[in-house]
Amino acid sequence: MKTITSVIVAGAGLALAAALGAAFLRRTPAVAPLETVESVDLQRYQGRWFEIAHYPAWFEHASDKNTTAQYTALPDGRIRVVNQTTSESGSARVAQAVARVADPQTNAKLKVKFSPFLPSGDYWIIDLAPDYSYAVVGDPRRRFLWILSRTTQLPAPVFNQISARLIAQHYDPARLIQTTQE
């Protein structure tokens, strides 16, 4: 009798889990795949970028300032990445990585590796000014987001246009943390 009761309880539990799972899936809106720009000229993309804003991330603090990224082409086709920021206490922090192109047809999808002990991260260029004056970088799961500029500031109309395009890409601009550049 205990066995039959256990089977009935287990079956009811599975049915309830399936019903709840189906209800959750119905309520979760389908998000379109993240779109990247059509193409990136990596020669033009290299150089120094100033971080204008970013999504919160465990490796980046809201109080960080003067955050920059320097991209340099390597002879083997990979890209050297040097991220630098100044902490609230005034000390400089530097993180170095190597990026490789994950989509050679567009050069808009890269894989960045900061440590041999960690997996590579997605670095997708999802918006880029025609003159390479700003870039927006995200990841396909929309956990990370950076707005970069060749200058320390972006004009408000440009920032607002970028924010509007982010909404179309299913990002929430309200989550952006502005980066102080001095």
Q: Where are the chain's structural domains? A: 1-30, 42-178
Q: Hey, what's the torsion of the CAs at 57, 99, 47, 56, to 10 degrees?
A: -10
Mean pLDDT for 25-43 is 79
* Tokens describing residue 48: 């120094």
Those residues whose C-beta lies under 8 Å from the C-beta of residue 73, and which sit 6 or more positions away, are 42, 43, 46, 79, 80
Return the pLDDT at 41.
98
The CATH number, out of the four listed (3.30.1330.20, 2.40.160.20, 3.30.200.20, 2.40.128.20), of the domain defined by the range 42-178: 2.40.128.20
- pLDDT class for 28, splitting at 50, 70, 90? very low
- In tens, the pLDDT along 52-73 reads 999 988 888 778 899 999 999 9
How many whole angstroms separate alpha carbon 85 and alpha carbon 88?
10
- Measured distance CA(111)–CA(113) in Å, rounded: 7
Burial pattern 85-100, b for ≥16 Cβ within 10 A else e, equals: bbeeeeeeeeeebebb
Helix (H) / strand (E) containing 44: helix 42-45
Q: How many CB atoms lie within 10 A of CB 80?
A: 14
Distance between CA atoms of 24 and 14, rounded to whole angstroms?
A: 15
- Distances in whole angstroms, Cα of residue 98 to Cα of each of 59, 73, 113, 138, 145: 17, 10, 5, 17, 19
Identify the pLDDT of residue 63.
82
Which residue is associated with the tokens 């979760």? 28
